[in-house]
Structure 1
Amino acid sequence: MSFSIENYNVEYKQQILDIWEKSVLETHHFLNKKDFIEIKEFLYNFDFEILDVYCLIDNKTVIGFLALHNKKIEMLFLDPKFIGKGLGKKMLDFAIVTLHADKVDVNEQNNHAKEFYEKFGFKVYERTEKDDLAKNYPILKMKL
């Protein structure tokens, strides 16, 4: 397999939405169904071009994506069938080294994500009771 990281193209939107959905269903067991549906609708209407978005491509297919704003990782999702193969690390290395990312927010209930970022040196510096959509999912704000 030959993986590349490419700039987001609007043609990739449906693929990244599909990856988001598969990944969240696999990793965000704490998310209730009503909130999942609301967030999904929000993302379907979201203009990804307002963020710096990069797609992990394998054979012309998006298998993961990364979105940043002001050096903060806003999203990093990988197709679940590719988790555990070093590709999340590849995307995070790209974010840190190439894009100079130094912050990320993680759902407190998502221990795997918290541990993933801690391996790269991110540390929690703040906790909020609600997420960015004012939902009752505590957020851990992390920085390098």
Structure 2
Amino acid sequence: MVSIRRSTPLDGERVLEIWRNAVDATHDFLQPADRLAIEREVVGSLPSAPLWISVDAEDRAMGFMLLDGAHMEALFVDPLHAGRGVGRALVDHAIASCGVLTTDVNEQNVRAMGFYRYLGFAPTGRSPVDGQDRPYPLVHLRRTA
């Protein structure tokens, strides 16, 4: 069973572990120098961000989501829990709160693109670079309740 709760300072290390594991499993398109630069940014900000955490019955974090209003800035699931409804539970939680949900996904992240399309997200546009002007195109997606 998956439950959703707000993050606490005690989640910081586990959140970083989930992020690293998920990126290693899904972002093989990143150049090593970019991967390292992104990780530095994440380590400096993610542990203190207001996250939604998906947890198991023992309150162990399996995935997390960062929302900015109705925009999902981040969604990462530990690969050990992928395909078990963790990501879907987080997205459903966001949609229940927001009604309309937008997100951006790296075009090269084929698994994530498939996941979002499966959940009913539709493309609304494309950017040739990511938010830090790196050469990783983003597809802008939107889903309504």
Relative to the length of structure 1, the TM-score reads 0.91
Q: What percent of counterpart residues are identical?
A: 30
Q: 1:56 corresponds to which residue? A: 54
Q: 1:5 corresponds to which residue? A: 4
Work out the CA distance in 2 between the residues paired with 1:99 and 1:21.
28
Which runs of 5 or more residues in structure 2 are unaligned? none
Which runs of 5 or more residues in structure 1 are unaligned? none
What's the CA shift for 1:4? 1.5
What's the CA shift for 1:70? 1.8
Q: Deviations over 1:86-131 (max 9, x none)?
A: 2211111111123435101000001111121112221111111110
Which runs of structure 2 are paired with 1:1-144 in the superposition (5 Å)?
2-46=1-45, 49=48, 52-58=50-56, 59-144=58-143
Asked if the contact 1:19/1:63 (under 8 Å) is kept, the reply is yes
Indicate the RMSD between aligned Cα atoms, in angstroms: 1.5
After TM superposition, the runs of 4+ consecutive aligned structure 1 residues lying more than 4 A away are: 47-50
Query: How many pairs does the alignment contain?
Result: 142
What's the CA shift for 1:49? 4.8
Asked if the contact 2:63/2:78 (under 8 Å) is kept, the reply is yes
What's the CA shift for 1:21? 0.4
Work out the CA distance in 1 between the residues paired with 2:119 and 2:104.
14
Give the aligned residue type for 1:38: A
Relative to the length of structure 2, the TM-score reads 0.90
What's the CA shift for 1:36? 0.8
Q: Deviations over 1:49-87 (max 9, x none)?
A: 55x410111212211101110210111111101011122
Local SS of the residue matching 1:46: helix
Give the aligned residue type for 1:12: D
What's the CA shift for 1:136? 0.6
